[in-house]
Structure 1
Amino acid sequence: MAHNIFFNEQTGQHSFFSVKEKAWHNLGLVVTEYPTSREAIQFAGLDYEVCKLPNIHRLADGITEIVSDNSFFTYRTDNNIVLGDKLSADYEVVQNAEAFTFFDSIVGGDGILYETAGALGNGERIFITAKLPSYIKVGSDDVIEKYIFLTTSHDGSGSITAAFTPVRIVCQNTLNAALRNCSNVVRIRHTANAQEKLKEAHKIMGIANKLSEELDGIFNRWAKVRITDKDILKLIQQALAPSKEVLKAVQTGGELSTVFNNVCNDAFMYAMTSPTQQTETTKGTLFGAYNAVTGYFQNVRQYKDEESKLESILFGTTMQKTQAAFNLCSAFAKNGNEVLQLN
């Protein structure tokens, strides 16, 4: 599987660090202790600044140049690599150090544990994952740790995005879920007041506290709700349906494509055979059914590269499907298997 981690020729290092375990093709620096934000920036090779300058247009005579007042580009000051082009005048650069300042501020600088960080492409996009000090416990020993993930770009391709992401430690499944009227994501535009908004984005901590408290109760209830193998397959089929037409076919017993059946069978096989699905909290339980979907996407499905996988799990199609599974499990817990019955 390909990777897109920036390789810095000046230092001879990939711009990535992780605590204790290597990730993404064994690249980057592995440290044994959780670093401070200043250390994390250096370990991940993110200690560069980004500048924005106006584009210069050369006319047909090959001599005359016009400095644009509405078209700009960004570049790294350490190696002069251009990161973004044709940016608007109101695009505001948010430096890498400011992204880490966001993490330090939301918990007052105490208890945040920087676990991974890195730069993608030429450094036009960065990401940070930080672990919060508390955790969710399902049953007697099934632990779900709580993370905040942040990504931002320097090329104008997207907003600053911070998300709360619970991760089941036994299998590293990201159990993303948005409850009714409560998203797990904060998005901030790269506008002139982006830095101010970044300072205010500590509300992600409020989201983390609210979601983790509610998910603790939900997952523990689901771990006590029994579900048959037949209903697990039905739940998987409905959660993974790629369109309304396929979902209708699943619900009415219509014909399904070979490709879709293979995907569902792979997820069902994971539910039935993975060691992480044979624990007290997951074997034959609704919590296990939800983990079957999340586990399929993280441990079975193939992605173009690690960046695509990360994007899909946190914000893309995978997130949508795991949310569908979460909603189905919520309905099952309330109404039983009648929500899965074929019409």
Structure 2
Amino acid sequence: MAHNINFNKRTGKYSFFSVQQKAWHGLGQIVEQYPTSEEAIKFAGLDYEVVKSPLFTKGSTFIETEDGMKIGDSELDVPDYFANIRTDNNAVLGVVGKDYHIVQNSEAFSFFDSIVGSNKGIQYETAGALGKGERIFITAKLPDYIRVGNGDDITEKYIFLTTSHDGSGSITAAFTPVRIVCQNTLNASLRNMTNVVRIKHTSGAKQRIETAHKVMGLANTLSNQLEGIFNEWAKIKVSDDEFKSLIQIALCPNKKTLDLLKKGEEDEVSTMFKNTVDDAFAYAMMSDTQQMETTKGTLFGAYNAVTGYFQNVRNYRDNESKLQSIVMGGTAQLKSQKAFELCTDFVKNGSDIFNLN
């Protein structure tokens, strides 16, 4: 599985750090104590800046001589386009337009530092750079938890940020709670509030980053409501048939498949969808984390069957694809939000919402 972690030839180290435990790729610096932002940016090898440099290309010049016309080389300006260059090693990270605004790595860390004021105890857990350093990422853990049941089933709260220097994407920050017992990402829709903030690399990006922490702080505050919601769901019993129906509806890829299910024509749906449902249902019935008092035969367990499938069962091309799917608005996040909505409707309207026939 490719890791794509940047190797800094100048320092002889991989541009990545994690606290106490090695990451899946086994690379980078392992530190024992949670670092400050100043320490984290150095541990992760992100202490470099990026500049926009004018682009030029070679052209032809026709020169008339006594022997006739001769062709020479000339340097041509490429208007309105620039190369983004790392100042520490002159690596070209990408080509961008004139309106592209660079957000330095240090400014990305400032996003987290701005949250510290209202969340004492924020902890930098991982950070690093990919490729030549064209994409960076940071994860930080917030100090409080979501507790379900008697307190054995707990969820930690993380904020994740990624940005690029190659013009390929926005600055993206995501609030992502993680259920510790199975490392299960719970990207629930919080009262119609998005848990993702995206900022384009245009003029004013730095100012928007400075205010985006307020949105993240609000998402964190609203997430406290999840504790009450999940505890309520953990007390609501559901049958195996209701369990499976929720999984089928949440994982349904399109309206055509849902219509076939409603008609009772399960034999007509794709084999891939059948296998996906079977894998998720098997996880729901057999996983140790689904046998807890909070999850076994409960609505909370049904919800976690969907989110847990994507985190613990489904195969991904690589970890970057997994991250995109689970955290950055991909398939896993969308299906998890669908499961959240189904569970919410179940509380309001009863099991009829799971009736496919």
TM bucket, shorter chain: over 0.9
> Aligned match of 1:75 in 82, 85, 95?
85
Letter in 2 for 1:213: N
> Aligned match of 2:335 in 307, 321, 326?
321
Which residue matches 1:106?
115
* 3-state secondary structure, aligned to 1:209: helix
Identity of aligned residues (%): 64
Query: What is the deviation of 1:111?
Result: 1.6
Counterpart Cα distance in 1 of 2:182 and 2:251: 20
Deviations 1:187-225 (A, max 9, x none): 111111111111111123333233312211111111111
> Aligned match of 2:221 in 210, 214, 221?
210
- The answer to whether the Cα contact below 8 Å between 1:162 and 1:204 also exists between their aligned partners in 2 is no
Deviations 1:6-44 (A, max 9, x none): 122332322111112111322222111111001111111
Which residue matches 1:182?
193
Counterpart Cα distance in 1 of 2:256 and 2:221: 35
TM-score between the two structures when normalised by the length of structure 1: 0.96
Counterpart mapping for 1:92-241 below 5 A: 92-108=101-117, 110-141=120-151, 142-241=153-252
- The answer to whether the Cα contact below 8 Å between 1:104 and 1:110 also exists between their aligned partners in 2 is no
Task: State whether structure 2 residue 8 is matched by structure 1 residue 8.
Answer: yes
> Which ranges of structure 1 fall in alignment gaps of 5 or more residues?
none
- The answer to whether the Cα contact below 8 Å between 2:46 and 2:128 also exists between their aligned partners in 1 is yes
- The answer to whether the Cα contact below 8 Å between 1:224 and 1:281 also exists between their aligned partners in 2 is yes
Deviations 1:85-125 (A, max 9, x none): 1x111101101111001100122284210011111122111
Mark the structure with the bigger radius of gyration: 2
Task: State whether structure 2 residue 275 is matched by structure 1 residue 262.
Answer: yes
Task: State whether structure 2 residue 297 is matched by structure 1 residue 287.
Answer: no
- The answer to whether the Cα contact below 8 Å between 2:50 and 2:102 also exists between their aligned partners in 1 is yes
Counterpart Cα distance in 2 of 1:5 and 1:290: 34
- The answer to whether the Cα contact below 8 Å between 1:163 and 1:204 also exists between their aligned partners in 2 is no
* 3-state secondary structure, aligned to 2:10: coil
Which residue matches 1:311?
324
Counterpart Cα distance in 1 of 2:120 and 2:217: 16
Query: What is the deviation of 1:284?
Result: 0.7
Which residue matches 2:17?
17
Query: What is the deviation of 1:177?
Result: 1.3
Query: What is the deviation of 1:307?
Result: 0.7
Counterpart Cα distance in 2 of 1:306 and 1:7: 18
Which residue matches 1:35?
35
Q: Select between 327-336 and 297-306 the one with higher mean Cα deviation.
A: 327-336
- The answer to whether the Cα contact below 8 Å between 2:193 and 2:219 also exists between their aligned partners in 1 is no
* 3-state secondary structure, aligned to 1:202: helix
Aligned residue pairs: how many? 342
* 3-state secondary structure, aligned to 1:64: strand
Q: CA RMSD in A?
A: 1.5
Which residue matches 2:349?
335
- The answer to whether the Cα contact below 8 Å between 1:75 and 1:82 also exists between their aligned partners in 2 is yes
Counterpart Cα distance in 2 of 1:299 and 1:227: 23
TM-score between the two structures when normalised by the length of structure 2: 0.92
* 3-state secondary structure, aligned to 1:66: strand
- The answer to whether the Cα contact below 8 Å between 1:164 and 1:204 also exists between their aligned partners in 2 is no
Structure 1 runs of 4+ aligned residues shifted over 4 Å read none
> Which ranges of structure 2 fall in alignment gaps of 5 or more residues?
62-71
Letter in 2 for 1:155: D
- The answer to whether the Cα contact below 8 Å between 1:24 and 1:306 also exists between their aligned partners in 2 is no
